Structure 1
Amino acid sequence: MSRLCFLPPYLLRELASTRPDGEEWVTRLLARDDGFRLQRSLVPTAAPSASAAWVVHTADNASSLPGRVVRRAGEGPSGDVAVDEAADGVAASLALFAEVYGRDSYDDRGASVLATVHYERDYVNAFWDGRQLVFGDGDGEVFDRFTKPVDVLGHELTHAVTERTAGLVYEGQSGALNESVSDVFASCLKQRLLGQSADEGDWLIGEGLSLPGVQARGLRDMAAPGTAYDDPRLGRDPQPADMSGYVDTTDDNGGVHLNSGIPNRAFQLAAVAIGGSAAEGAGRVWYAALTGALPARADFATFAAATLAVAGEHADAVAGAWETVGVTPRATTAGPGQPPPVAGSSGPSGSSERAVSVRRSGGFAGQVVEGRVDLAEEPDEQRRTELEALVGRIDLREVAGGTPQPDRYVFDLDLCGDRAQVPEQHLTADLRRVCELVLDPGAPSSWR
């Protein structure tokens, strides 16, 4: 079951390094995410009425999903601003796909969309978990509520569409395309609601998500990747604008939130060149490519070729856009973005035979959080003893590898020389506890 989080890991890392309580706050947040993910398959999901196009719940600042029903399609405003923003955003997203692309909900079979707001406390993320959309209220310091920008809702719902169509594998270039496609239709949604043409749009993703005083126009700028923010708490927007800046990394499933800036810019350029509505111009081309015979591990060149194949009269505009960002269309998959390493491959740096290291990347913000415990020098006897016992019974070969899922986290683990990269959905209870002890030693015992 996939989980798509809005904030990329590189933003969380910046927050951890600049807030007075940042490291403790961020690692505790990530630990809560892990606990939820391990438990969510056991939590029954309420089945809404088949006639309800969408149902909005509230978690009442807890973590049980889907929570309490607050508003259904056809009902008036609830008076809760987050509930009503979620309702309006989901309804508008469904209308975009239905009215422009002829798609009946995310599965094209009329599935009811479940959404939950007020998830946890100070939760700075939004995600699609394969069953529903979930939104946090933000931390009140850097981020506002995640239902505020309508493009956040459009982004997450589009992940569900991608999951049910091309199923783009969430790593390397196919993962960056997965992220980019969500930004593409999020931007189409925003401009459609504002009545803007492609050349009138601001092309910002997450505009208004940052609170006053934060030097950020948004989280991403599709027209000018790398310029969305420059703030002491967030750092500087690291997205590349073309292939000359492509980031080859093992973090964040191969830099999916970083390198998505390249196809994002290609779409923006194509949309402006085609003219008129981005949704009805370039959006139709991108939707046809996404829902055609696109391989799940498509790289940028393969996706570019797919867009050209369906571009028709707009072929020159589409070809020029891809050329500007340095992508040459090719109907084969190649290039950066290989599967993650399995047990025995290189893991976090600074390893030793008596050290336990954990490096966590991914999530919507693309941040990286890491920690290391040298068992030979660890002064906390209880922590050292528990880690030694855990390492002694864990076999990373049983959990390594696997297919990453959109906006979910990936862990690079080094357990006294035994190394692997493990997608979060494969974390066992023992591995989760290792991560807690290394990243957040103050985590309560209830997380065990």
Structure 2
Amino acid sequence: MVPPHILSNLAERHEHARRTLDHDDTHRTRRLDAVARGLTPGEPGAGADKPRRTIYDAGHQETVPGTKVHEESDGPSQDVSVNRAHAGLGATFDLFLKVYGRKSIDGAGLPLDATVHYGEKYDNAFWDGERMVFGDGDGDLFLDFTISVDVIGHELTHGVTQYTANLDYQGQSGALNESVSDVFGSLIKQYALGQSADEADWLIGSGLLGPGIDNGTALRSMKAPGTAYDDDVLGKDPQPAKMKDYVDTEDDNGGVHINSGIPNHAFYLYATALGGNAWEKAGQVWYDVLTGGELAKDAQFADFARLTVAAARARYGAGEEHDAAIKAWTQVGVTAQ
């Protein structure tokens, strides 16, 4: 969730942030290993139309899952992190089931597990291929990572991608992987709050930044990539909004957290052009592409754009939804036909 370029900046001031950066590749490898092991969708809990959530406490150790502290049938916990994790898992489950008819992350009722209080002042959250894991933040630069429901939705959507298109985590396909998580993370927040596309803030990680950050509102902005922060500690938000500003780098797996700003902005333009609730038509088109079986693991932005235009036409015909998709990608400099 927290991009490596931010963690690199933090590492200059905090040793635990350096450890967080070192773990970034490990988390990604866990996700890929889970796919390689051929995890069977829906074991156990196949066909479930209600979430089955279990929360564990790592006790500030960097081991998972930790000690079981909360199950689906339990009442509210005295630990607010447990309650927020439980609620965030539920909000994600609700969007995918009630809007897209998808039963949990794998589409077949996979139980949702999460571990809270991971590590000591751990500045990140991640999906490891099997569960959500939340750090508490250091309390100065970052707050508890269970605070933002869009962060929870973002990471769980990595699980959806794992079970569907399984986009390679490198270059443009990796940026699409990150962008899809931002898109559905934002939609999960909007759905939970009942916000229209015009009412939404289109920020990812709003509320996560701590009192030690003087000039920042979130980790990313889909509405205006490159404006989420400009701070002495975090540095300047490097995300571009258009292909002409694409960042060619070997860092961050080819800039997956940076160049995701381009497809993010395309979705924002598409959703706001259509108006109403973004999870309906705009979100449906993105979901159709992610789960439709035609999105290659090494897809580039132009491939994804072409498929969204085709999906809009297939579902809604050659009307506003189709034309708005072409226009949105054109505005960010990506050829969609």
TM-score under structure 2 normalisation?
0.89
* Amino acid corresponding to residue 27 of structure 1 in structure 2: R
CA drift of 1:158 comes to 0.3
Out of 13, 16, 26, which is 2:17 matched to? 26
Aligned to 2:185: 186
User: Aligned to 1:257, what secondary structure does the other structure show?
Assistant: coil
Aligned to 2:333: 326
Q: CA 1:35–1:80 in 2, change beyond 3 Å: closer, same or farther?
A: same
Aligned to 2:8: 13
* Amino acid corresponding to residue 94 of structure 2 in structure 1: A
Count of matched residue pairs? 316
Asked if structure 1 preserves the Cα contact closer than 8 Å seen for 2:7 and 2:18, the reply is no
Aligned to 1:227: 227
* Amino acid corresponding to residue 245 of structure 2 in structure 1: G
CA drift of 1:33 comes to 6.5
* Amino acid corresponding to residue 9 of structure 1 in structure 2: P
**Partner Cα separation in structure 2 for residue 89 and residue 229 of structure 1:** 25
Asked if structure 1 preserves the Cα contact closer than 8 Å seen for 2:220 and 2:226, the reply is yes
User: Aligned to 2:255, what secondary structure does the other structure show?
Assistant: helix
- Structural RMSD (CA): 2.2
User: Aligned to 1:258, what secondary structure does the other structure show?
Assistant: coil
**Partner Cα separation in structure 2 for residue 38 and residue 260 of structure 1:** 20
* Amino acid corresponding to residue 282 of structure 1 in structure 2: A
Deviations 1:204-234 (A, max 9, x none): 0000000135121100000000000011100
Which protein has greater RCO, CA pairs closer than 8 Å, 6+ apart?
A: 1
Q: Does 1:88 align with 2:87?
A: yes
* Amino acid corresponding to residue 113 of structure 2 in structure 1: L
Q: Does 1:98 align with 2:93?
A: no
Aligned to 1:70: 69
Instruction: Compare CA radii of gyration and give the structure with the larger one.
Output: 1
CA drift of 1:166 comes to 0.7
Q: Structure 2 unaligned runs (5+)?
A: 34-42
CA drift of 1:35 comes to 8.1
**Partner Cα separation in structure 2 for residue 220 and residue 267 of structure 1:** 14
**Partner Cα separation in structure 1 for residue 296 and residue 23 of structure 2:** 34
With 78-87 and 61-70 compared, the bigger mean Cα shift is at 61-70
Asked if structure 2 preserves the Cα contact closer than 8 Å seen for 1:86 and 1:147, the reply is yes
CA drift of 1:317 comes to 0.9
After TM superposition, where is structure 1 displaced by more than 3 Å over at least 4 residues in a row?
28-41, 48-52
% identity of equivalent residues: 56
Q: Does 1:294 align with 2:295?
A: yes
* Amino acid corresponding to residue 228 of structure 1 in structure 2: A
Asked if structure 2 preserves the Cα contact closer than 8 Å seen for 1:36 and 1:63, the reply is no
CA drift of 1:192 comes to 1.1
User: Aligned to 1:127, what secondary structure does the other structure show?
Assistant: strand
**Partner Cα separation in structure 2 for residue 85 and residue 32 of structure 1:** 24
User: Aligned to 2:108, what secondary structure does the other structure show?
Assistant: coil
Q: CA 1:166–1:36 in 2, change beyond 3 Å: closer, same or farther?
A: closer
CA drift of 1:38 comes to 9.3
Q: CA 1:249–1:228 in 2, change beyond 3 Å: closer, same or farther?
A: same
Aligned to 2:152: 153
CA drift of 1:26 comes to 2.9
Q: CA 1:77–1:64 in 2, change beyond 3 Å: closer, same or farther?
A: same
For residues 256-267 of structure 1, the aligned pairs below 5 Å read: 256-267=256-267
**Partner Cα separation in structure 2 for residue 71 and residue 25 of structure 1:** 28
Asked if structure 1 preserves the Cα contact closer than 8 Å seen for 2:17 and 2:122, the reply is no
**Partner Cα separation in structure 2 for residue 206 and residue 69 of structure 1:** 27
TM-score under structure 1 normalisation?
0.67
**Partner Cα separation in structure 2 for residue 190 and residue 121 of structure 1:** 28
CA drift of 1:291 comes to 0.8
